[in-house]
Amino acid sequence: MPVVSPKIEASSPHVMNTYGRLPIALSHGQGCRVWDVNGNCYLDALGGIAVNTLGHNHAKLVPALQDQISKIIHSCNYYHIPNQEALAKKLVELSGMTNVFFCSTGLEANEAALKLARKFGHDKGIERPEIVVYEKAFHGRSIATLSATGNPKIQAGFGPLVEGFVRVPINNIEALKVATANNPNVVAVFFEAIQGEGGVNPMHLDYLRELRALCDQRDWLMMIDEVQCGMGRTGKWFAHQWAGIVPDVMPLAKGLGSGVPVGAVVAGLKAADIFQPGSHGTTFGGNPLAMRAGVETIRIMEEDGLLENAARVGAHLNQGLARALAAELASGAVREIRGQGLMIGVELAKPCGTLVQQCADNGLLISVTADTVIRLVPPLIMSEAEADEVIQILCPLIRQLLQTP
Ligand SMILES: *Cc1c(COP(=O)(O)O)cnc(C)c1O
């Protein structure tokens, strides 16, 4: 049943106009469903952009956060925060790495990673360290992270960009070798295991293994931005684990706090001691509410088997989409369905931004990235029945779009 678009002002007079927003204001949610202020219900296949790991109003998360809020929300890093150690210990166990720095967002985690790489270089006498980054990458909107980002639209108007980046195409080890040949200033490679904003582009597992070997050989830090693809979304804790490798530096955020802003940089032995007192810091990073959200999110994911669920429901969704769009895949109108677990991209042969509103009008929340790629990153609690519903709403709208000239 199509829902009627609610009347919400197209723009807010006092909020900076940084997003092309839909005329929808969400009021509350339950599981994978959300309701807007006018009472329309939506199936949530976006999860606040891969953030709402546990969906909405989770029966185990909400009381834990309420308990935390009533005790202490923020203290600051002048004191010990016991749940920092608890969450760090957990992340270290899950990743096979050794130490964690906490912050609040993805770009902050990536800034910390970039600083780690530069200091790693300086500590070994490289005065102008350079970092390998990738075409179509997205790492955030600060000056340094937008410089590392491989999207000219995001960079336009904000120059001069931060220097010290070497850009290469994904999944091409020869191109990387050529771009870094005779360059003793390279200290790190920095990339998403599956590019999110760039259109759900996975790094091939072979490429990841070759890259790991090259980083070891040349003493580079392997820094994997798992802000979007990490925290169980692909069916393993971290997407690079499908390749059986361990990075040296791994920024996290988005799904880590299931909606509470939490960021982290996890470091292995090679990077664990680069920062010393005074090297880096942030006021909100690792605060008691954020840490409780991280600890409880992981605990609940383990208790409820959400990695297994993400893998199973993700495969079901992927295969269901492929079946429903078989003719369009055969004709090339749908170029590819790709991704892993509950991080799925459906690439069309034409721009499809208009689908976002059409899906919402039909009770489904999705996003479109890189103009032509429908991105599905739902909560990891999604059921197969809900995945079927995504297919039932989405595929007819895709077909309709493909048929309009
Ligand atoms: C979203 C995202 C970021 C930026 O995170 P913010 O919390 O918006 O700063 C960085 N890297 C990747 C891969 C992302 O998907």
Q: In CATH, what number is assigned to the domain containing residue 40?
A: 3.90.1150.10
Does residue 149 lie in a domain region? yes
Residue 85 confidence (pLDDT) above 60: yes
Sign for the pseudo-dihedral over CA of 379, 380, 386, 387: positive
Residue 113 alpha carbon to ligand 1 centre in Å: 13
The answer to whether 340 and 304 are in contact (CB under 8 A) is no
* Start-end of H helices in 58-192: 61-71, 82-95, 106-123, 143-148, 152-155, 173-180
End residue of a domain, out of 303, 322, 353: 303
**Domain range spanning residue 270?**
72-303
> CA–CA separation, 349 vs 222, rounded Å?
34
Identify whether residues 81 and 180 lie together within a single domain: yes
C-alpha span between 84 and 285 (Å, rounded): 10
In a domain, 112, yes or no: yes
Cα of 252 from ligand 1 centre, angstroms: 9
106 lines ligand 1 (CB under 6 A): yes
Structure confidence at residue 126 (pLDDT): 98
Candidate list 254, 270, 275, 284, residue with the active-site label:
254
Q: Is residue 20 part of a domain?
A: no
335 Cα to the center of ligand 1, angstroms: 26
Total count of domains within the chain: 2
My answer on whether 276 and 310 are in the same domain is no
Q: According to the model, what pLDDT value does residue 31 have?
A: 98
* Cβ(138) – ligand 1 distance below 6 Å: yes
Whether 272 and 333 share a structural domain: no
pLDDT of residue 401: 98
The answer to whether residue 403 scores a pLDDT higher than 70 is yes
What is the per-residue DSSP string for 275-303?
Answer: --TTS---SSTT-HHHHHHHHHHHHHHHH
Cβ–ligand 1 contact at 107 (below 6 Å): yes
Q: Are 342 and 382 in contact (CB under 8 A)?
A: yes
> Which one of 49, 108, 114, 138 would you pick to mutate in the ligand 1 pocket, going by the greatest count of ligand atoms within 8 A of its CB?
138
Instruction: Compute the distance between CA of residue 342 and CA of residue 307 in angstroms, rounded to an integer.
Output: 10
Is the four-CA dihedral 322, 328, 329, 333 of positive or negative sign?
negative
Among 303, 335, 365, the domain boundary falls at 303
Q: What is the mean pLDDT of residues 39-58?
A: 98
Record the pTM: 0.97
94 and 210 both lie in a single domain: yes
- When computed from its CA atoms, the radius of gyration of the chain, rounded to whole angstroms, is 21
Compute the distance between CA of residue 357 and CA of residue 305 in angstroms, rounded to an integer.
33
Catalytic residue among 101, 138, 191, 275, which?
138
In order of 138, 209, 226, the CA distances from 205 in angstroms are 20, 6, 15
Å from CA of 227 to ligand 1 middle: 6
Specify the residue for token string 């509410």.
289
Ligand 1, atom 5, lies closest to the CA of 106
The SS3 of residue 352 is coil
Q: For residue range 299-326, what is the model confidence (pLDDT) as tens digits?
A: 999 999 999 999 999 999 999 999 999 9
| 80-87: long-range contacts, CB 8 A cutoff, minimum separation 24 | 81/286, 81/287, 81/288, 81/291, 83/288, 83/291, 83/292, 83/294, 83/295, 84/286, 84/291, 86/291, 86/295, 87/264, 87/291, 87/294, 87/295, 87/298
Place of tokens 């609040």: 104
Average model confidence (pLDDT) for the chain?
97
pLDDT of residue 183: 98
- Count of CB atoms within 10 A of residue 261's CB? 20
In a domain, 17, yes or no: no
Cα separations in angstroms, 366 against 50, 204, 257, 281, 355: 11, 25, 21, 35, 8
Closest ligand 1 atom to 140 CA: 4
Is 67 a residue of the active site?
Answer: no
In the numeric block, the tokens 């689908």 are attached to 355
pLDDT, average across residues 208-233: 98
Residue 13 placed within a domain: no
Q: What is the pLDDT of residues 384-396, one digit of tens each?
A: 999 999 999 999 9
Same domain? 297 vs 266: yes
State which of 275, 303, 331 marks the end of a domain.
303
What pLDDT, in 10s, does the model give residues 144-194? 999 999 999 999 999 999 999 999 999 999 999 999 999 999 999 999 999
Q: Are residues 43 and 77 in the same domain?
A: no
CA atoms within 13 A on the CB side of 291: 25
In terms of Cβ atoms closer than 10 Å to its own Cβ (0-12, 13-18, 19+), residue 141 is middle
- Pair (179, 241) in one structural domain: yes
Query: Does the C-beta of 114 come closer than 6 Å to ligand 1?
Result: no
Residue 63 lies in a domain: no
Residue 138 falls in the annotated catalytic set: yes
| Average pLDDT value for residue range 224-233 | 98
Q: Is the CB of 192 under 6 A from ligand 1?
A: yes
Does residue 237 contact residue 95 with C-beta atoms inside 8 Å? yes
Q: Is 110 in the pocket of ligand 1 (CB under 6 A)?
A: yes
Identified catalytic residue from 225, 238, 248, 270 = 225
Residue 46 Cα to ligand 1 middle (Å): 15
What CA–CA distance (Å, rounded) separates 83 from 72?
Answer: 12
User: Is residue 2's pLDDT more than 80?
Assistant: no
Ligand 1 centre and the CA of 107: distance in Å? 6
The answer, yes or no, to whether residue 204 has pLDDT greater than 90, is: yes
CATH number at residue 107: 3.40.640.10
* First-last CA distance in the chain: 26
How far is Cα 165 from Cα 23, in angstroms, rounded to an integer?
A: 39
Q: Quote the DSSP letter at residue 393.
A: H
Pocket test for ligand 1, best of 154, 254, 369, 377 (most atoms within 8 A of CB): 254
* Ligand 1 in reach of 105 Cβ (< 6 A): yes
Beta strand 165-168 with 41-44 is unpaired
Q: Are residues 216 and 246 in the same domain?
A: yes
Q: Which tokens in the block code for residue 50?
A: 């891969």
Ligand 1 centroid – CA 49 distance (Å): 10
In a domain, 397, yes or no: yes
Same domain, 103 and 44: no
Of 276, 265, 394, the C-alpha closest to 324 is 394
The Å distance, Cα 225 to ligand 1 centre, comes to 9
Ligand 1 pocket residue status of 198, Cβ below 6 Å = no
Whether the per-residue pLDDT at 94 is higher than 70: the answer is: yes
Which protein residue's CA is at the shortest distance from atom 10 of ligand 1? 139
Ligand 1 contact via 253 beta carbon (within 6 Å): yes
3-state helix, strand, coil split of the chain in percent (to 5) is 40, 20, 45
Q: Is residue 110 part of a domain?
A: yes
Q: How far apart are CA 309 and CA 306, in angstroms?
A: 5
Site of tokens 């684990």: 241
Say what percent of the chain tops pLDDT 90: 96
- Which DSSP state fits 56? B
Whether residue 94 is found in the same domain as residue 194: yes
Atom of ligand 1 nearest to the CA of 228: 15
Q: Provide the pLDDT confidence category of residue 4 given band limits of 50, 70 and 90.
A: low
Cβ(379)–Cβ(44) under 8 Å?
Answer: yes
**Which pLDDT value is given to residue 25?**
96
Tell me the HSE value of 107 on the side-chain side, using a 13 A CA sphere.
11
Q: Which residues pair with 103 in a beta bridge?
A: 263
Same domain, 133 and 250: yes
Q: Is the CB of 225 under 6 A from ligand 1?
A: yes
